[in-house]
Amino acid sequence: MKTVIAAMTLSLALCSCATITRGTTQALTITSDPTGVDIRLSSGLAWMPPMGR
């Protein structure tokens, strides 16, 4: 039982490493060809550029 708890604790600690080392936000640059397309991320965020850009 101690081994299972230790393994679960270790796996939880390792899962959070990216957040600890890189923070919770990250800059993202998106370019497209053709311009003016709708951008949708897998996280659900969407951006629609103004027309005529």
| 19-52 per-position pLDDT tens digit | 556 666 777 787 777 777 888 888 788 888 776 5
The pLDDT of residue 8 is above 60: yes
Give me the residue spans of the domains in the chain: 2-47
pLDDT category at 53 given cuts 50, 70, 90 is very low
| Dihedral sign (CA 41, 42, 46, 49) | positive
Distance separating alpha carbons of residues 32 and 53, to the nearest angstrom: 12
Distance separating alpha carbons of residues 12 and 9, to the nearest angstrom: 5
The position carrying tokens 């919770």 is: 24
